[in-house]
Structure 1
Amino acid sequence: MTLQDVADLARVRRPVVSMWRNRPRVRGLHVPFPAPVEVSGGMERFRREDVVEWLERTGRGNNPEANLDAPALSVPDDVPLDELVTWLCLAVLTGEELADTTAENRITLARGVDPDDRVLFREVEASVPAVCTLRFIDDLVEASYGPREALDRLEQGRAARTLGTRDLTSDAVDLIHAVAEACALHLDPEGVPLVHIGPAASVTLALADTFTHLVVPGDISELRDIRRRAAIREIETVDDAAGPGVRVLSAIGRPADEVLDLVDNLVLDLGEGELGIIIGPAGVLCDELQGEQERHRAQTLRSESLAVALRLPRGMWREAHRQALGLWVCATGGSMQGPLVADLAAFTRDELDLGDLASDVTGALAAARGRAFRYLRPHDLPPILSARTVVVPRGVRALRLATTEIERHLAVINAATLVTSEPIQPFDVLAERAPGAMLLRRRSLGELKDLGHVRVLRGSRIDHSHDNPAGSVTVLSATDSHGTARLDPFDAARLYPRAVRTDPGDVVFAERPRPIARVDDHGGSLVASPSKILRISSQAGIGPHAVAAIINRLPNEPTEWQTWSVPILDTSEVERLEEALLAAVDHETTLWRHLDATRDLVTAMIDGVAAGAVTLTTRTKQ
């Protein structure tokens, strides 16, 4: 097993295994990680039994059934993934263990399940597998919950990693599946076949479950491999479709010219009543092209077969997470006058509902242009053909009718104006020359603590599951100006009997990620760690609001509180400064409240006018 295999077995990330190797002590015992038994291709290999025993002794990892899963991860070296899939297919179709079979036995078994040589007979006849390979297949079948999971383990394991290919994310598969299901329901609610087109098979196999059967025409090795994977997944495959179906082409990762050729061939081959789904790079399907490539795409689009064009959000292809993908839905040529398009990257995850997207696709295929779409927007074909515009403009989304939620928009605007229309009281401070000469003194908080003029008390670790919005005990944090939680007073006394409560005038502060502080003028609150309480005595020569203001103006980097320096003032100056600072805090709070309300008002006005719910009246002064 490699270190990545160990991580997969323990269900942890790969760096965690390296950390285990560097930290041999587990709960006070010295339990070193197993030593490698060999190094192959620059990678260390570990004995499977040693790894399983070590995981059981240490209790590390997140897989209590590691001993059962381990055999499925011991992939033989230098055995191609396709060969492993072939032997897995034979084991699944025959239900026989392969380790003790002879070549003649295996040929007989293959002939029995594949008499027409559509799936695996010639591969079995030509292959001479090692005994360890067949034993691994037997172990894999035994360790898996079924044939599908066994195939998934192969496609996610070491044999697949050596190929260096990465498939689509689960979000991408779900989105394509929703579009494919909408196409199938449009053709026939009773079910239609799925026709595989092109070199890539992962998308086709991910969609095949919801179709009556999978059509895989041809007899080249890539297509036979698709049939084997389909057989393992218990998906019926045929050579020809009995009626109209949905054709699926995945051109992800292919050069632009090859993508255009594949798309053109699919559109030309669409029969009456058939639909085609194309997944490929957005740069080819959605964006601007130049020269011969642009003319090639325009020639394909002149058939008026493009019904829907979508730009998918970035991150849906694991091999190039920054590259956006595009999706086309095509119908028989001449049936679509203009495509409906949408940039799904313009929607947040919460805004994107696959059910509504499928409904939009169904409406587009039915040419129901009178209906309202949630995502799709009609796009004229002539500007695309003349290269005056792209297929899917960035950010394009459905047109919206005027909203019926007029009262809600008005209420938000009116609530904001109630604050912004309030007059702001001026804040003024009368300052005069100080009489005579003064001796300027400064002390650090560490010095004041040693003198007994301040105390620093630790906050408490608070479980946020105890939060009670109706509670009267506030849990304060220096980094959260509104408090992190509220507790019922009985719960606070019962659950946190040793927690320190604040007194009026206590400073709640934190050192990281930057020095920050606030004053609790009311008292009686709990403080959530890592925030601390600074309790200042009357002999300190500085007030709490002055200290908090000084802390909040320290450099934006973590420092130790003992080093923070404050001025030492006369008692009369302390009182006057505190009074002025408290008034400044109140003024600042009012300004922030007006700023927040102004931001809300701007957003509400834009949303309300854009939704057709409100109109603004300009006030003119007489």
Structure 2
Amino acid sequence: MGAGPVLTLQDVADLARVRRPVVSMWRRRPMARGVHLPFPDPVEVVGGVERFSRDEIVVWLERTGRGNNPDAGLDAPALSVPEAVSLEELVVWLCLASLTGDELAATTTEQRTDRARDVDPGDRMLLREVASARAVPATLQFVDGLLDASYGPGEALDRLHRSRAGRGSRDLTSDAVDLVRTVAQACALHLDPEGVPLVHAGSATSATLALAPSFTQLIVPGDTPDVRGMRRRAAIRGVETVERAATPRARFLSAVGETVDSALELVDEVVLDLDEAELAVIVGPAAALCDELHGTQEQCRARTLRAEGLAVALRLPRGMWREAHRQALGLWVCAPGGFTQRPLVADLAAFDSAERDLDDLASDVTAALARVRGRAFRYLRPHDLPAILSSRATVVPAGARAIRLATADTGRHTAAINAATLVTSEPIRPFDVLAESAPGTMLLRRRSLGELSDQGHLRLLRGSRIRSDHTDPAGSVPVLSATAPHGLLRLDPFDATQQYPRAARTNAGDVVFTDRPHPVAIVDDTGGALVAAPSKILRISPKAGIGPRAVAAIINRLPRAPSEWKTWSVPILGTADVDRLEEVLAAADAHEATLRRHLDETRNLVTAMIDGVAAGAVTLATRTTE
């Protein structure tokens, strides 16, 4: 008798929606909620990997309450992939079950073949695979359970690709898919505003299926195993496929995960095969599409580029391929031969996430295809084809970005410089402290904050969870955090009372602090503020022997490691010493704030001078003012 449906430790992590190390920690800690509930023992070991009973894991998660998935019992059937079954075989059965609506475990081999013939009479994707398969009951039961655990066939396919059987699949991230879709849609709009079909090229399927809804049809020509697999996945997602369609058309090739040699060969085939009314969007390794090449690889890429079909070349930011986050990808937009000798290029990694706007990128691509060269591009800049074809040249130089046109608004740069110099030219008042010798004492008295709390000289008030969508820029109630000296946000006073009736408010002189991830504190001189958790409030009595500014200064000088606030030690001073020390520390804080303001404006001044001189809007005098 077999072990039944099983899960690996990674499957358990996926089921519980936690990181893999968390499951290992659970195995070492059998106590849960004060009850001894040890992690289930493995039922088998396959290839050195432990397998655990799916049913036992589900029961254990329910009893312990661990993990972040309240629907673990419903999701578990989608993760217990049978052993020694390939991803493609599972896709075949998922496709059959999706198209027929049958419970596969209740059918015979002959019935499954007949049903495959009904839904695929032309044997374009399914019939021969079903007729030659010898599925074991566990496989069919898994597919039935997968569909039951999913919100539809499309989501079942996604779950299958994320499961143990599909963890080696080469998927793009959602950001990469959005970017490629934006470029593909711009190409389609250029070809025909009413819509065009999309031609699938290459073997990768996930990106093509993500693009398909933006096109009128999905063309999948041929009868290779990869092509049939593509049609099966399209059928599962409800995307109709055809083998041919009239022009204009857009082609899409994903060479992600291919070697440089293989990628160059695939790209050459697609570019040379383009008809007059076609465009191609190609995604592949930046090493092949963008970077410097040598020897036969350089010659192969040059042969493709000499057809003058490259319209746009982009280097994408790192992290857009799930299987290799450090490998950069490249993207080409190609037209039929003789299109241009000045392709437009850009390194999107040179723009931070706040600077990348997909609508502006689409506008740039549309203008490039329309050969609008007088346009002020946001990202793209021209790159001469002869320079690209020269020895050791790159298609997309690192950091390439659009040429910024000089602006006629010269006053903007001078205004920025003048605004900064209004602060940097202010004289900074010296900060001095008059210190005299004192007799000293034989006993240095210190108390921990825990001791002061026990003596009633210190009170701890906890912060509150504050929702960011409650913010009101015109509000008069600040929300403070120890890690945000100038406040996180502001609330309307009526909203603050209604939404957070039990939240503690600060008094003037309260210390706002946190001990995670390291100790840090500020002093609220005004009072009346809410404090956002995990920050807390320390309210110090005048009889404590220490003032709030001294406490905050001591906290800010503690080691940068988590520690318990009650263990923090402070000196106990006389009343007169407390007052004098607080007065001097207030002056020190004001002096530090002035220095920080000057430093900030000095940085702004440097940036404004560089931008102004680079734009030709500012000329700097050779003499500096001392």
The residue number in structure 2 matching 1:457 is 459
How do residues 81-480 of structure 1 correspond to structure 2 at under 5 angstroms?
81-161=87-167, 164-387=168-391, 389-403=393-407, 411-429=415-433, 434=437, 442-446=444-448, 455-465=457-467, 478-480=482-484
Q: 1:421 to 1:136 in 2, by over 3 A?
A: same
Residues 453 and 127 of structure 1: is their aligned pair in 2 closer, same or farther, counting only changes over 3 Å?
Answer: closer
CA distance in 1, matches of 2:559, 2:103: 70
Matched, 1:74 2:80: yes
How do 1:591-610 residues align onto structure 2 when only pairs under 5 Å count? 591-610=595-614
Question: 1:113-166: CA deviations, max 9, x gaps?
Answer: 3333222222222222123322333333344333222222222222213xx233
Query: Does the 8 A contact of 1:187 with 1:273 survive in 2?
Result: yes
1:459 is paired with a residue of what secondary structure? strand
Partners of 2:449 and 2:570 within 8 A in 1: no
Aligned to 2:3: none
The number of equivalent residue pairs is 614
Deviations 1:509-535 (A, max 9, x none): 666655555555566767776555374
Instruction: Classify 1:199/1:467 alpha carbon distance in 2 versus 1 (closer, same or farther; 3 Å).
Output: closer
8 Å Cα contact 2:202/2:255 also seen in 1: yes
**Retained in 1: the 8 A contact 2:463–2:537?**
no
Scaled by the length of structure 2, the TM-score of the pair is 0.84
Residues 460 and 332 (structure 1), Cα distance of their counterparts in 2 relative to 1, 3 Å cut:
same
Distance (Å, rounded) in 2 between the aligned partners of 1:58 and 1:447? 36
Is the deviation greater in 356-365 or in 464-473? 464-473
Gap change, CA 1:544 and 1:294, over 3 Å in 2:
same
Distance (Å, rounded) in 2 between the aligned partners of 1:219 and 1:301: 30
Q: 1:556-612 CA distances to partner (integer Å, 9 max, x unpaired)?
A: 5566675646496895x7766665554444333322222222222323343455556
User: Which of the numbers 481, 486, 499 marks the counterpart of 1:482?
Assistant: 486
RMSD: 3.8
Q: Offset of 1:269 from its aligned partner? A: 1.6
Q: Specify whether residues 298 and 23 from structure 1 end up closer, same or farther in structure 2 by C-alpha distance, changes over 3 A only.
A: same
After TM superposition, the structure 1 stretch with the greater mean CA deviation from structure 2, 315-324 or 386-395, is 386-395
Maintained 8 Å contact 1:546/1:577? yes
Q: Secondary structure at the match of 2:313?
A: strand
AA aligned to 1:151 is L
Q: Distance in 1 between matches of 2:287 and 2:27?
A: 45
Check the 8 A contact 2:514/2:535 in 1, yes or no: yes
TM-aligned CA deviation for residue 6 of structure 1: 3.9
Report how far residue 502 of structure 1 moved.
Answer: 4.4
Letter in 1 for 2:297: Q
Q: For the Cα contact (< 8 Å) 1:456–1:533, is it kept in 2?
A: yes
| Contact 2:505–2:528 under 8 Å retained in 1 | no
Q: Which residue is 1:533 aligned to?
A: 538
In 2, the alpha carbon distance for the partners of 1:543 and 1:59 equals 45
CA distance in 1 between counterparts of 2:425 and 2:547 reads 34
Cα gap change, 1:239 to 1:608, in 2 (>3 Å): same
Deviations 1:382-435 (A, max 9, x none): 111113641111111112234476666555444333322323333445566x48
Q: Give the structure 2 partner of residue 618 of structure 1.
A: 621
Structure 2: segments with no counterpart, 5+ residues = 1-5
**What is the CA–CA distance in structure 1 between the aligned matches of 2:33 and 2:381, rounded to whole Å?**
61
Give 3-state SS (helix, strand or coil) of 1:319's partner. Answer: coil
Of residues 179-188 and 446-455 in structure 1, the stretch that sits farther from structure 2 once superposed is 446-455
Amino acid at match of 1:445: R
Listed as ranges, the gaps of 5+ residues in structure 1 are none
How far does the alpha carbon of each residue in 1:341-368 deviate from its partner, in whole angstroms, 9 at most, with x for none?
0111112222212222122111111111
Fraction of identical pairs, as percent: 63
Asked whether the 8 Å contact 1:311–1:344 carries over to 2, the reply is yes
Distance 1:62 1:479 in 2: 28
For residues 339 and 258 of structure 1, the distance between their equivalents in structure 2, rounded to whole angstroms, comes to 23
- Offset at residue 281 of structure 1 (A): 0.9
